[in-house]
Amino acid sequence: MYTAKHIPFRIVASFAWRQILFFLFYSSGVCLLYALAGWTFLAIPFVPIATIGTAVAFYVGFKNNSSYERLWEGRRIWGGMVNASRAWGIMVMDYVGTIDAPECQSSVELYRQQQLLIYRHIAYLNALRLQLRKQPIWQEDRNVGIDLVGQHKAHATGTLESELSMFLHDDEVDFFVNRQNPATQIIKRQSAQLRELRTRGLISEFYHSDMEKMLVEFYNQQGAAERIKTFPFPRQYAFFSNIFVWLFLVLLPFGLLTEMSKIGGSYIWLTVPFYTLIAWVFLTMEVVGDTSENPFENSINDVPMTAICRNIEIDLREMLGETELPQRIQAVDNILM
């Protein structure tokens, strides 16, 4: 996620400098052929080109709105995960006790059970984060947004094994890293521990039911995130949006020649700067949509899952009474991952 109010020229240029050079050379070539080679037939009426441009603007606007919906839904999902995780922490600390078995367990054993439930949940969040940031087959091509993030080693996410080993015992780590969907299996293990605690009388039947419902809520949020990750933005919209934009940009300088020639022969060279400016605007609208449609791709516009997971970790460990807590993730070059 980009956090600064203004986007510096360096980032803007990294997305468009090649295309801007193409626009400059392309429009200059058209003007040279018109002015020096006498190819006056290159000037075509502007009205049909303007009609195409209007249609393209509406189409790109629709695609960008849909892309933003995917991005915002991803953020809402992780916002829901934050709220549910805090509720889970409260339940663990307040529900796991000796009400039904007051003579059975020491406070040390109860704390160990609470810590295990909370640490395993933190492991679950990080496992889900890493799963969502895997690159599917249809998303293997790198783009500028991913390259910008890749420049900063502080944004790099660890391996699943290293992340889980910070919160789980080795036997659980070995089990989860070999599963197809580790996050799903971690929740299943949470449910098994709740069942064991219920059998031992460390949570009541009512509390057990409430905590199981919370595990279902985690599955709901996970499924919503996986839906975005595994179902790409419909390619017919993205593909033809790109085709239509470039079709318009290829035709545009010929229409601008007509308009500039009406002012005077020497003014046809104004086609170059005006065409480059208009082309950059349309290209930027297209790129904004492209870089927003996948909120879990390790790109500059990602949902900041690493920072969210760290914030949840701090909240839950404070509920356990811990004082030695990790630092919150800070943005690097205004990029928060």
**What are the residues whose beta carbons fall under 8 Å from the beta carbon of 149, sequence distance 6 or more?**
155, 298, 299, 300, 302, 335, 337
Using pLDDT thresholds of 50, 70 and 90, give the confidence band for residue 153: very low
- Residue in the block written with tokens 């197809």: 180
Mean pLDDT along residues 278-291 = 89
Mean pLDDT along residues 180-196 = 95
Pick the closest to residue 123 from 184, 178, 76 (CA basis): 184
* DSSP count for the chain of H helices, then E strands: 11, 0
Residue 116's alpha-carbon distances to 29, 157, 275, in angstroms, are 68, 23, 62
pLDDT, residue 138, reads 46
Exposure letters 94-115 (e unless 16+ CB within 10 A, then b): ebbbbeeeeeebeeeebeebbb
Please state the φ and ψ torsions of residue 335, each to the nearest 5 degrees. -115, 120
Name which residue leads in pLDDT, 87 or 11: 87
Alpha helices by DSSP H, listed for 96-204, are 107-132, 144-150, 160-165, 170-177, 182-199
pLDDT, residue 156, reads 45
**Percent of the chain residues past pLDDT 90, beyond the cut:** 50
Taking all residues of the chain, what is their mean pLDDT, rounded to a whole number? 86
0.75 surpassed by pTM: yes
Hey, how many other C-beta atoms are within 10 angstroms of the C-beta on 237?
Answer: 17
DSSP H/E element including 65: helix 46-95
Mean pLDDT along residues 92-113 = 76
- pLDDT tens figures, 224-268: 999 999 888 888 888 899 999 999 999 999 998 888 888 877 788
Report how far apart the first and last C-alpha atoms of the chain are (Å, whole number): 6
Pick the closest to residue 319 from 160, 124, 114 (CA basis): 114
- pLDDT tens figures, 40-70: 878 888 899 999 999 999 999 999 998 889 9
- Residue in the block written with tokens 């299943």: 188
